[in-house]
Structure 1
């Protein structure tokens, strides 16, 4: 079997209230990754701004933009210039009163290859996303690009094995998770470790169960709670790339801006699925109860 590899990079960085500054930081990261040979570059969730979902504030809807729009134009031109595929994460204004948390893939020719609207929307202290985002309606469909079929999901989706499985069943070559997740600074060190370990383990499990590489790009840095009702969020970074047996191929730190890059073998997925044929042995004739919320 001929080995097919893809040079992948993640752009992990902190954000500020200055959107222009954040965009410049992201563009610089994309250029640096491309200069190092990356052909697929993944950005973190809602990379243009602070993570505004810590509070419910109608003024934050002003951050939303259309797709196509300013960001897809800007990063489309950048992708074409550099000859790379870029996974963006945008606050989409679909219509008046309808907004989505949307990942957009721009191909190496600058065109929009496709988009994915976040399906699972959290509503927890500090993560009030249901106030802002309408649940996605595009389903779990990989996006065909010049570097392969990308199974793009977003943050909270990473906890749901069903989402990863459906992307794999539709022929995804990789699973990709732009992310914004962090600690409550009031949590003790042991609790913080449990949360981080659970986050990594869950996504590595998706790699194992589906025989696919997983790419997870998180942000870093402390972001204050505008309402002062909490101590904000310390985004924990730890962006990583895992292989199809869950092996960690590259792993970023928890504090610093970082470009994480690795040459991922896409051919290994077939080799792994030959020795661990989970797809073959699925008993779909007995999985009907998965369509229920709970088995009473």
Structure 2
């Protein structure tokens, strides 16, 4: 069975410096291509940074879909024959902004997802999305997109799984928090659980680099359809490049025993 090479580039975007972040993301996309990647995933809000004081600050660095950052990503996707999934601060009408992610295919097709479940002070800044995670039929398989805290809602992850997604790509910014000694970050554990209960591959790309006093888990991870990490899955608060070769067609087999199927066994009428 053929495999698809997926790369997560864990980076440190600079808050409010879109030009720097464009350069950083461009180098990361090129670097992934040199590794033979067919899909590259970058962090949440890669284009802008994350810890905004207010909506106006976010709006000032936001970009429309034809802005310079997505234009660069489109150019690189075409030039390098690579699928790019990355987060950006999207400029909306009337001074509004969205925490968005772009999936860009080499032929130029752009799919945009707006984060529906906002974490903490994001609710004071971003307009939440109102559409379910897209599932895009790409040249390498069916790819879905969501962002960070969306992964904490199992009903939300179930939607693209039921829609046939082989691989879920999730740009994330996971703020670090205390945890018991020896325990792995809960965010990573939940990604593994989501993958296993849906038999769906997941690539979550985190960030690093302190930003206005916030540290990050640095927990980028690529997980197979049984929930087992193929790369990452530890807290590593520095730049890292994760590479995994995934047999995405395995995600289309939802059987887990001779008599069990992870989706057909559901009994929504009881829920």
Deviations 1:117-162 (A, max 9, x none): 1110122xxxx10122111022233123222221111001011101
Measure how far apart 1:253 and its partner are. Answer: 5.5
In the alignment, what sits opposite 2:39?
A: 40
Which of the residues 8, 11, 29 maps onto 1:10? 8
In the alignment, what sits opposite 1:20?
A: 19
Which of the residues 209, 214, 224 maps onto 1:243? 224
Which of the residues 174, 177, 182 maps onto 1:181? 174
Considering only aligned residues, what root-mean-square deviation do their CA atoms show, in Å? 1.9
On the 8 A contact 1:245/1:272 being kept in 2, the answer is no
Measure how far apart 1:98 and its partner are. Answer: 2.7
In the alignment, what sits opposite 2:163?
A: 170
Inter-partner Cα distance in structure 2 for 1:222 and 1:59: 18
Inter-partner Cα distance in structure 1 for 2:227 and 2:146: 18
Inter-partner Cα distance in structure 2 for 1:233 and 1:152: 25
Inter-partner Cα distance in structure 2 for 1:132 and 1:158: 20
Segments of 5+ residues of structure 2 without an aligned counterpart are none
Deviations 1:166-216 (A, max 9, x none): 1101111111210011225xx4x637x65x531111111100110011111
Which of the residues 142, 147, 152 maps onto 2:135? 142
Which of the residues 171, 180, 188 maps onto 1:190? 180
Q: 3-state SS of the aligned residue for 1:234? A: coil
Task: Describe how 1:122-133 pairs up with structure 2 within 5 A.
Answer: 122-123=119-120, 128-133=121-126
In the alignment, what sits opposite 2:243?
A: 261
In the alignment, what sits opposite 2:50?
A: 51
On the 8 A contact 2:209/2:237 being kept in 1, the answer is yes
Measure how far apart 1:274 and its partner are. Answer: 5.1
In the alignment, what sits opposite 1:233?
A: 214
Q: Which moved more, 1:90-99 or 1:156-165?
A: 90-99
In the alignment, what sits opposite 1:286?
A: 270
TM-score calculated relative to the size of structure 2: 0.92
Inter-partner Cα distance in structure 2 for 1:68 and 1:171: 29
TM-score calculated relative to the size of structure 1: 0.84
Q: Which moved more, 1:6-15 or 1:248-257?
A: 248-257
**How many corresponding residue pairs?**
267
Q: 3-state SS of the aligned residue for 2:92? A: strand
Which of the residues 207, 215, 221 maps onto 1:219? 207
Measure how far apart 1:26 and its partner are. Answer: 1.5
Measure how far apart 1:111 and its partner are. Answer: 2.9
Which of the residues 53, 65, 86 maps onto 1:88? 86
In the alignment, what sits opposite 2:261?
A: 277
Which of the residues 153, 164, 189 maps onto 1:201? 189
On the 8 A contact 1:52/1:60 being kept in 2, the answer is no
